[in-house]
Structure 1
Amino acid sequence: MKVHIIAAALLAGLSAASLSGAAQAGSFGKACTAEPREKWMSLESIERIVADHGYKIAKSKVKESCVEVYARDKQGTRVEFFIDPTTGTPVGGDWKNPS
């Protein structure tokens, strides 16, 4: 009986962990834009938009159709944004609740 309870608890924990990992993955697997690169903003312009919203940028890079930005908020908490490179807005979240 104990084995069944432990197995059920372990399975529930693994399921919850996999779901939380998927939620934290934000935009991975989803396109941020379908627009051609000629219509994209520069990485520097997107960094400026993120900084203008009060974040200190640690690293940014283009990843597939998104700009991925790693930053810290005003409290020093690490945040990650997936930015649509045509609009400069977060995908799958907003400025207060990053993806």
Structure 2
Amino acid sequence: MRKLILLSSAAAILVTGAVAAQAGSLGRPCTSAAQSQWLSIEALQSKVEAQGYKVQKAKLKNACGELYALDKNGGRVELFVDPTNGNIVGQL
């Protein structure tokens, strides 16, 4: 019985870690386009701000724009943006 509890606990920890790692990077690229076709980080930020967000930090990671922002209600959000066109493809 003790082994079963230990194995169940270990499995739960591994699954939680995998989900957290995937959520932090959207788990996939936002585009397969060449980097030469991407917009600048400043252009991505402008496109997101035009939609009512207030961007606090922005970076490009794994073929995705990751923007940390405040939504219209002041809530914190992490936005995943297609770097070729500025479209929001995911949000945490």
- Shared fold (TM-score, shorter chain, > 0.5): yes
Q: Equivalent of 2:83, from 82, 85, 98? A: 85
> By percentage of residues, which structure has more strand?
2
Give the letter aligned to residue 21 of structure 1.
A
> 1:27 aligns to what?
26
1:66 aligns to what?
64
Say whether the 8 Å CA contact 2:25–2:62 is kept in structure 1.
no
How large is the Cα RMSD of the aligned pairs?
2.4
Q: Tell me how far 1:64 sits from its aligned partner.
A: 2.2
| TM-score, normalisation: structure 2 | 0.73
Aligned-partner Cα distance in 2 for 1:64–1:26 = 7
Query: Distance in 1 between the 2:37 and 2:62 partners?
Result: 15
Check the 8 A contact 2:67/2:81 in 1, yes or no.
yes
Partner of residue 43, structure 2: 45
| CA distance in structure 1 between the partners assigned to 2:77 and 2:58 by the alignment | 12
Structure 1 residues without counterparts, runs of 5 or longer: none
Q: Distance in 1 between matches of 2:40 and 2:32?
A: 16
Q: CA deviation at 1:42?
A: 1.2
- Gap change, CA 1:33 and 1:70, over 3 Å in 2: same
Q: TM-score, normalised by structure 1?
A: 0.69
Aligned length: 92
Deviations 1:40-60 (A, max 9, x none): 111111101110111111100
Identity %: 37
